[in-house]
Structure formats: structure tokens, C-alpha cells
Amino acid sequence: MPTSIPTRNKVNKKYTWNKESVFKTQKEWEDALQALLKDIPSLKKFQGKLGESAATLLNGLNAIEKLTLRAQTIFMYAQFEYAVDTTNQSAAGMVGKASSMAGQVAAATSFLNPELLKIGREQLNIWMKENSKLAEYKQSFDDLFRQQKHVRSAEVEEILGMLADPFSGPSNSSSMLVNADFKFSPAKNNKGKKVEVTQGNYHSALMEDPDRKLRQSAFESYHDKHIEFKNTLATNLGASISANIFNMRARKFDSSLSASLFNNNIPDEVFHNLINTFKKKLPVWHRYFEIKRKALKLKDIQYFDMWAPIVKKKPKISFEKAVDLICESLAPLGKEYVDTVRQGCLKDRWVDSTVNQGKMNGAFSYGSPSTHPFIMMSYTGEVGSMSTLAHELGHSMHSYLSWKNQPFVYSGYSLFVAEVASNFNQAMMRGHLLNTIKDKNFLIALIEEAVSGNFFRYFFQMPTLARFELETHERVERGEPLTADSMQDLMADLFTEGFGRKVKIDRPRVGMVWSTFSHLFADYYVYQYATGISGAHALASKILRGEPNAAENYLGFLKAGSSDYPLNVLKKAGVDLSTPKAVEETFAIMEGYIDRLEELVG
């Protein structure tokens, strides 16, 4: 394992994102930003006049969409450039400019919904019958009137739009602190040799290293730095939660949970069904932790052992080989799908896969309808990295097919369905490889990646964080203070319950896990990882079993974008997430992996 990480300017361009396909130079980006800022006032000519005629309304919608698309592309470029190197001060400045621009665009377009409501559903229905282009907006109009009681006046909506920029301050502050400013103490391996700890190598390499001394040392270094700044981190998250509560009350919701789920027409029961099923199925996790402890030959197992490899020698897979295996796994979706994935990975440079200093922790897929769907990750050549690549390609293909098949108004999709597409690719990959790979070492590594990597994150950490999120929001709603110590204690209590009696808990450090997940700055995001992995495995299982039309139905889901509500789109694809059934089925799939692992390790 390398003990030093290269700087950004030392990496192979072949494995970096194709930013030149978006803007050839930073100056071109700057020019696009300034041109957009000059064009924002042009929307004023539509304000107060959308109700004059169907043609005026359609022209106004088109103007707003064109400006919004430009803004999305400019914003994405800045965010991605910063993500691949948070030490790049120029990129950090671009993010600041882009965030300010986004707030101005949100404010400038805020008149749209109040004016649509003023026009009224009856008049809109008449115009949609007369104008087929306007009729394309029916789902968005229906959704707006569903939300009518929570849409405020044009003046209030403008203020709420202007608040988007300052409300992003706590998230940006925490990101800058942990990604750019944090310098972690080096870890030490069992020979006393120092190993660098960064956001880029902590999860993807150090926590998966077979050297327990190194894992523990890295874990302590990483979390001790967060403990050192726990008051700042807690203040930032607390401010973000307060902003959520402000928006909840401004839009007249009874709870922050209802306010968040309402946007996608998701009943509160979906969240509570997940949490209740998770708590009921904790014994499945407790069984796995004990199997892993025995396989690792440990007296006690701790948090930093969760990613430890059981295999003595990890299989190594080149980036190009990983693409081949992923494409083989996705063959049931058809040649066009597979060819697009291969082209994106190997020719069009969708993936920024290099490991470098300053790179953000984790992985994501991001783009706009005018760009490629780009992927940021740190590819390390192991099964876990291959799985992460498959996961992010699921997001990317979801975006690619939505952009290709839907008008701009429906070209996006909610977080609720996003994690279905990503986890689906991983489920397909495992289903294929578990049936075709014969090497015992590879199979153990594959199952370990599934349970310790994917399922532990999505089906253990995320539901636990969702419980933390719900409790912290409810405390603020009740007027109770959030402190660093109270948040640390709450997190430690929830993980202690989740891990059970046989996992040793380092309470101060495990209590800071919340501060290592930037996802908590996105309101009620984390629970959707668990519902997503459930929907994904339910749909993948249909294809792996060879059910008629299962692949076609799944592709229809990817192409649907936001043309219908998330639960409805998924029902058409073949899974109903309004009940606990898919969550229970996915726990059963995980148990099957655990059974196979127990058999392989003896």
C-alpha cells in the first residue's frame, strides 16, 4: 500500500474527468458565469404576465428552463472541480461565485409557482388542451397544486429563494473544514511505520487494510481530529437543522420529516416502516458481526474492524478490467446500455478515478442535461472500488437515460429513486459474479464487499444516522438545545444498540460518526439509501430470476425521470416501497450472503 498520495498535478489525465467537454478553460467558465448574471434580469419581463396567454406562459417556462440549465452546468463545473482537489483555492472561489449565482437564479425564478397558482388549475387545463407543448407540464402542474397550501406569496417565495445561499453556509463551512483544513496525524502500522491519512484514502484503503494496528491508528487519528473540532462541527450541523425547521414553519408543515417527504409525495410511514423493520432485523447484523469476529480470529470486534478483509490477499482489479466485469453483469439490460457504459468509462472520461491529495472523501455522480454524467471517486483496484464504480455508473446511467428521454422539466429525479438505480448495478454485478467466479478468495472478497461495504453502509449506518437525524430535528422542533456532547452521546447510544453486546464500542470516537457524513446537511437524505437498496434488490432479483419484461420495466424506470411520483415510477417497474416488504426481502438477501460467507470461511 502506498504511504504517500500524489498531488493533483501529478496524476494521469486519462483517469480524470473530461472537464474540457464542459468548459475548455476556467476563463470560459468565468465568461459563462458573467453572461448568465447579465441575463438574469431578462426574466423580469415575464413576471406578473404569465397569465396573459398560453403562449406567454410557455415562453416564460422556456426562458426559465434555459437559464436554469445554464446555471446547473456552471454550478456543477465549479463543484466538481473543487471536489477533485479541495486544496485548489481557485476552485474554492469558483464554488463561492457559483453558489451566489444559484441564489440569484432561485430568487429570479421564484415568481413562477405563485403565478401558476394564480392562473388556476381550470385555466391551465384549458390551455393544455389547446397547446400540446404546454400539456407536457401536466405532471408538474398537478404536483404544484398538490403542494398549493405550502406555497407562499411571490414576495415570500422570493425571500425563501434568496435564503438558499446563506443557508448553504454551514454545509460549505464544514466541507471546507474537514476536506481542506483538516490535517490528520499519520497512522502507524504494526511495524511502527507511519502512513499518511487523508480523506481520499481513509475509507477506501486504510479501513480495509488487513493490519489491525494500522486500522485502529487511522480510525483514532481520523476521529480524534473531528473530536478536536466537535463544537464547530456541531454548530454547523445545528445551524443546518435550524434552517430546515425554519423552512418547515415558513411553509406551514407540522414536522421537518413531513416537510421533507412531502416534496416527493412520500408518506411518513415509509420512513417509519424502514426504521421499525431495521430495529426488528438487528439480530441478523449481530449474527454477521460474530461470524466476522471469528473469521478474523479476534477476541473482540470494534467499529474499525467492520471493513477488515477476511481474505489474506485482496484480489486486484484494474480499472479497465472492472469496467469489463461490470458490463458483463449488466448484459441483460441490452447492448445499447452496456455500450454506453463502456464508452463513458473508457473513451469519454466520465470517471475521475485517480487518488490524489485534496480529493473529497467518498464518491458521487454529477452532471447536467448539457454535459456527460461525471463520476468522482478514488479507484484503488479492489473489489470495493469496483463495486463503487458500478454503483456510481447506476446513477450516471439513470441521469443519462432521463436526460435523453424526458423534457427538461422531468429530466431530474428525486433522491428517493436515485439510490435504487445505483444499488441495482451492484446487485446485478454480485448476482453475475457469484455464479461465474470460482476462486474462493475472490468470492469471499465479493461477499465481504457486499455486506461489510455496501450493506453495512446502506442497511446499518444509514438507518442509524436516520434515527439520529430524526431525533436531532425533533429536539430542535421542541425547542431543546443541540450541543456537541449531546449529539456525541446520542450517536454513541444508537450505535451501541445497533451493534449489540458483542461489539466493543469506543464511545467518544464512534459518537462522532455523524460528523463524518456530509449527507446530514441534505434534509432526510440518509434513510433513502436504505429504501433505495431495498428497491434495487427487489428489481434486480426479478431480472436475475429471468422474469418476463423485468429488464424492460427497469429501463422504463430509468427513462422516466420525474415524470411521475417516485413511488408510482417504482411500482410501474415492479416494486412497492410503501410497504415493508422490499426491506424485509433485502434483509433475506443479505442473510443469504451471510450464509454463503459462513460456508466459505468454515
Which active-site residues does the annotation give? 392
Q: At what angle do helices 112-119 and 54-83 cross, to 10 degrees?
A: 150
Distance of CA 202 to the CA centre of its chain: 19
Residue 241 contacts by C-beta under 8 Å, 6 or more apart in sequence?
Answer: 256, 472, 473, 476, 482
Phi, psi of 409 (to 5 degrees): -60, -30
Contact 288, 595 (CB under 8 A): no
Q: Where are the alpha helices (DSSP H) in 84-196?
A: 89-108, 112-119, 121-130, 132-135, 138-146, 154-162, 164-167, 169-175
In the chain the first and final C-alpha atoms are separated, in Å, by: 29
Query: DSSP 3-state assignment of 47?
Result: coil
CB environment 160-185: b (16+ within 10 A), e (fewer): bbbbbbebbebbbbbbebbbbebebe
* Cell numbers placing 217: 491508528
**Nearest Cα to Cα of residue 33 among 23, 43, 42:** 23
**How far is residue 150's CA from residue 87's CA, in Å, rounded to a whole number?**
41
Query: DSSP 3-state assignment of 301?
Result: strand
Q: Give the start-end residues of each E strand in 304-384.
A: 351-352, 364-366, 374-376
Q: At what angle do helices 383-405 and 550-560 cross, to 10 degrees?
A: 70
**How far is residue 377's CA from residue 165's CA, in Å, rounded to a whole number?**
27
* Cell numbers placing 214: 494500522
CB environment 217-255: b (16+ within 10 A), e (fewer): bbbbbbbebbbebbeebbbbbbbbbebbbebbebbebee
**Nearest Cα to Cα of residue 219 among 308, 310, 296:** 308
* Cell numbers placing 221: 487519528
Contact 207, 218 (CB under 8 A): yes
How would DSSP label each residue in 352-366?
A: E----TTPPSS-EEE
Contact 94, 78 (CB under 8 A): yes
CA trace torsion 389, 394, 396, 400 (10° rounding): 150
